[in-house]
């Protein structure tokens, strides 16, 4: 329940103009990942072994952490905190 509440708040912040479709897309993606992820990793573990399955999971998590979601129209992270400009 806490995860669903967090997703609802997050989707409102990421998709402020259309939070309901954003929440629906997020829940749909999580549901599909919950179903397909274990099935695909189980097949990989059967064929290549557990170390390969754990490595694939680690790579997926690392790639996900490199691409955080941002709001449409929001500046990129580097531009969000510009250096102060001297008024002289």
> What percent of the residues of the chain are helix, what percent strand, and what percent coil, each to the nearest 5?
75, 0, 25
Q: What is the pLDDT of residue 5?
A: 80
Q: What would the mean pLDDT of 26-50 be, rounded to a whole number?
A: 92
Phi, psi (5° rounding) for residue 65?
-70, -20
What's the chain's average pLDDT? 79
Q: What is the pLDDT of residue 39?
A: 95
CA–CA distance, 69 with 76 (Å, rounded to integer): 10
pLDDT exceeds cutoff 70 at 42: yes
74: confidence class by pLDDT, cuts 50, 70, 90: low
Model confidence pLDDT, tens digit, residues 46-59: 999 999 999 999 99
């Amino acid at each position: 329940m806490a995860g669903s509440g967090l997703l609802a708040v997050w989707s409102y912040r990421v998709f402020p103009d259309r939070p309901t479709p954003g929440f629906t897309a997020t829940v749909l993606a999580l549901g599909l990942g919950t179903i397909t992820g274990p099935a695909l990793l189980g097949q990989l573990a059967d064929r290549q072994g557990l170390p390969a399955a754990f490595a694939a999971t680690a790579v997926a998590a690392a790639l996900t952490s490199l691409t955080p979601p941002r709001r449409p129209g929001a500046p990129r992270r580097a531009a969000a905190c510009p250096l102060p400009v001297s008024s002289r």
